[in-house]
Amino acid sequence: MMHHVGLASLSALLVVAACSKPPAPAAPAPAPAPAAAPSTAAADSAARAAARRDSLAALARADSLERAARERAQADSVRAEVQRAQADSAAAAVRSGLSAADSGVLVDAVHFDYDKADLLAAELPRLDRKLAIFQAHPRIEVQIAGSCDERGSDEYNLALGERRAAAAKRYLVAHGVAADRITIVSYGKERPLDPGHTEEAWAKNRRDDFVVTRGAN
């Protein structure tokens, strides 16, 4: 009987040992995934955007250069027109009976300070020399054209140019020239004699031009 019990106990131990397997080793942790490289599509999109920016910048530069060239050409054309008008007026005065010297005096421009229509003391001798020609040639008639530099609005400069022309006319009339021998007009900033953007250029453009409309004969 004891023999049977021992065999049974031994069998039970063997069954327990067979059923009690050691635990399986833990699986290794997964390696971190490599960082994703930028996609080819994103790189192509960035390249296209940069190319567009460069293209737009090039177009803007070309447009700016073209616009500047047009403005220079227009300014040169206006200056040439003004100079031609002054020369034509002087030539017409000579043809009408004035000497070349008197013609030059009559069409000599009178200048103004910035944003002013008051006659400068330094400019009065120019007007006095014109007076002598008016008195010596009672048939002479002129148009006084007021001009301004480029600063300020078109409307403001048209009004300022008219005040400048009127100031010169008032001086001549006050000294004996009949008012109907002088007409006035304003060109504002439309007829710069010097197209530059400097104080020297602006000083040349703030002026009254004198154009002979009827000669001495």
Whether 150 and 206 have beta carbons less than 8 Å apart is answered as no
CA-closest candidate to residue 117, choices 175, 58, 73, 157: 157
Q: What's the pLDDT score for residue 2?
A: 45
Residue 29 has pLDDT above 90, yes or no: no
Instruction: Quote the CATH superfamily of domain 72-214.
Output: OmpA-like domain (3.30.1330.60)
Domain positions in the chain are 72-214
CA-closest candidate to residue 213, choices 64, 55, 85: 85
How close are the terminal C-alpha atoms of the chain, in Å? 170
The pLDDT tens digits for 83-112 are 676 677 667 667 767 889 999 999 999 999
Phi, psi of 32 (to 5 degrees): -60, 140
pTM of the model: 0.64
CA-closest candidate to residue 142, choices 216, 212, 215, 217: 212
Secondary structure, 3-state, 176-198: CCCHHHEEEEEEECCCCCCCCCC
